[in-house]
Structure 1
Amino acid sequence: MWTKHHRKRKLGRFAMPLITVAFLSYFSYHSIHGDFGLRATEVFDRQRVERQATLKELTEKRQILEKEVALLSDGSMERDMLDEKARFGLNMSRADEIVIFH
């Protein structure tokens, strides 16, 4: 029976560890700097907090507007509310009134 004897090469011993190091390096880099990595997660969290604050402000404004619309449109329109909106829209006041801007 014939067998071949191969000399072990020095390069062969390092091939698998080099591939493993390259593989781990690639995925480690992208887990930190990639589109869904740790830094991107920090950016997403900052945006989420900012957008929640904006949502809260807009929700409060909407509630105020809904109250005003309810006062104007429930069938018995309040004269004060109608007068206030008309004056504000037309930018008019009476001669005996004092206008306070805020």
Structure 2
Amino acid sequence: MALNSSDIARIASLAKLQLNSDESERMLTQINGFFGLVERMQAVDTAGTEPLAHPVAAFQDVTLRLREDAVSGPDDRAANQRSAPAVENGLFLVPKVIE
């Protein structure tokens, strides 16, 4: 999947970015390079390959050291929400951004 300059212009417009022609060309090259890498990775036959929990697990046993899921501090909700512009029933209120 290769993008062209009009695709870059549309993406920049959606992101509210103003790119000059040099920046647009550089973005086009970088994004198409990324897509090329993804296509190369998808072309690799991974049938029968077990997923790894850790990249080092391919050549040595790895035991993940996970900490116990325990409460580590007090509930400071009121203190954390003190500086919020709007709070209701313990929830942060934010302006609606999607119509």
TM-score normalized by structure 2? 0.30
Q: Which has the higher strand share?
A: 2
Q: Which has the larger radius of gyration?
A: 1
TM-score normalized by structure 1? 0.29
Q: Which has the higher helix share?
A: 1
Q: Higher relative contact order by CA 8 Å / sep ≥ 6: 1 or 2?
A: 2
